[in-house]
Amino acid sequence: MDALLERLRAGLPAEALITDPDVTASYAHDMASFCDAGTPAVVVLPRSVEEVQHVMRTATALRVPVVPQGARTGLSGAANASDGCIVLSLVKMDRILEISPVDRIAVVEPGVVNATLSRAVGELGLYYPPDPSSWETCTIGGNIGTASGGLCCVKYGVTAEYVLGLEVVLADG
Q: What is the pLDDT of residues 121-167, one digit of tens each?
A: 999 999 999 888 898 999 999 999 888 888 888 888 888 899 999 99
- pLDDT tier for residue 59 given thresholds of 50, 70 and 90: very high
Q: Which domain holds residue 140?
A: 96-162
Characterize 8-43 residue by residue with b for buried, 16 or more Cβ atoms within 10 angstroms of its Cβ, and e for exposed: beeebeeebbbeeeeebeebbbbbbeeeebbebbbb
- Name the helix (H) or strand (E) containing 42: strand 42-44
pLDDT in tens, 74-128: 888 889 999 999 999 999 999 999 999 999 999 999 999 999 999 999 999 999 9
Residues 103, 54: one domain? no
The reply to whether 100 falls in a domain is yes
The three state secondary structure string of 101-158 is CCCCEEEECCCCEHHHHHHHHHCCCCCCCCECCCCCCCEHHHHHHHCCCECCHHHHCC
How buried is residue 121: exposed, middle or buried, by Cβ count under 10 Å (0-12/13-18/19+)?
middle
On whether residue 32 sits in a domain, the answer given is: yes
Q: What is the CATH number of the domain that holds 126?
A: 3.30.465.10
Domain shared by 81 and 115, yes or no: no
Residue range 39-48: mean pLDDT, rounded = 98
